[in-house]
Amino acid sequence: MKPSGQEVFIRKIRSALGYPPNERRRDNVCCTGAFTDNVSAVLDRIKNRSKAEKQQLLKRFIEMAEPIKLAVIALADKDSVTDAIVDLVRNKAPEWGDQKSIAVWQHPLIESLNLSDALADQNVPVCVTELKNTETEKISDERERLRRRIIDAYIGVTSADYCMADTATLVMRTRPGQARSVSLVPSIHIAVIGLDQIIADLKELYALLKWDTATQNEGLTNCMTFISGPSKTADVEATMVHGAHGPREMYVYVIAD
């Protein structure tokens, strides 16, 4: 019997990996989950990175972000980030309507920016995605209130767990108070991270997710999102359009100090 196109393709993959093309490997061979010397070396490299090496990763991140229309801005401290967001809110008009409002994560780094006070002069309300009333009979109403405020917001402000420099990709795990919708629904997405959150690539990410103690304690949470720049599609006449399925603009502020 002639093998299917799928089987031919899989045989090529096996051969390229150095395995017999007609022999299917067992699951326990493919995914051993063993802590190897190579994994240990990756974790040590991340842990012991020098300031100069971190700056090189930041430079790589900025370089890879430019082609995908992701604006990466390195700033000295949190006050500079707050000022930058205030200026962005002042200079960017909502995509629909004329009422400005923003939605932000309940997150220690975002809270430290004091955006509510900073935006008071512009009369721009700030919605923190926190479920304040968790009584069973009222939680549905509370969630609907948050949904409406996120939909009304034209800017969403989040942090991230990691950023992979090689692909300019943010890695974000969903948690209570850190809704995925904040990065998906508003027209503009702003992410604020520290220099230590920038890693090199997927290999480092997998090592951290599998073996880093802090990550192991929390687990993967219900959802993990990878974001590489603003939403884009070229489905119609091969013409690139931003904002079709999510934010049309994206900014990452890196606290470089």
Q: What is the largest CA-CA distance in the chain?
A: 75
Is domain 51-255 in CATH 1.10.600.10, yes or no? Answer: no
Tokens of 79: 């006050």
pLDDT value of residue 136: 64
| Cα–Cα distance measured from residue 169 to residue 229, given in angstroms and rounded to the nearest whole number | 7
The Cβ-side half-sphere exposure at 228, using a 13 Å CA radius, reads 14
- Residue 21, CA distances (Å) to 7, 17, 18, 104 in order: 10, 9, 9, 51
Q: Which of 206, 204, 109 is nearest to 160 (CA)?
A: 109
Q: 170 has which bridge partners? A: 163, 227
CA distance linking residue 250 with residue 230, whole number of Å: 5
pLDDT tens digits in sequence order for the chain, 257 residues long: 777 888 889 889 888 888 888 888 765 555 456 788 888 899 999 999 999 999 999 999 999 999 999 999 999 999 999 999 999 999 999 988 889 999 999 999 999 999 999 999 999 999 999 877 666 667 788 889 899 999 999 999 999 999 999 999 999 998 888 989 999 999 999 999 999 999 999 999 999 998 888 887 887 778 899 999 998 787 777 777 776 778 999 999 999 97
Residue 251 near residue 189 (C-beta atoms within 8 A) = yes
pLDDT of residue 235: 77
Which residue ranges make up each domain of the chain?
A: 51-255
Q: What is the per-residue pLDDT for 39?
A: 87
What number of CA atoms fall less than 13 Å from residue 9's CA on the CB side? 3
Taking the C-alpha atoms of residue 30 and residue 23, their distance in angstroms, rounded to an integer, is 13
Parallel, antiparallel or unpaired: strands 71-75 and 249-255: parallel
The distance of Cα 17 from the centroid of its chain, to the nearest Å, equals 31
Three-state DSSP string of the chain: CCCCHHHHHHHHHHHHCCCCCCCCCCHHHHCCCCCCHHHHHHHHHHHCCCHHHHHHHHHHHHHHHHHHCCEEEEECCHHHHHHHHHHHHHHCCCCCCCCCCEEECCCHHHHCCCHHHHCHHHCCCEEECCCCCCCCCCHHHHHHHHHHHHHHCCEEEECCCEEEHHHCEEEEECECCECCHHHHCCCEEEEEEEHHHEECCHHHHHHHHHHCHHHHHHCCCCCEEEECCCCEECCCCCCCEECCCCCCEEEEEEECC
Find all residues with CB under 8 Å of 54, minimum gap 6, and list them: 195, 196, 198
What local confidence, expressed as pLDDT, does residue 133 receive?
A: 63
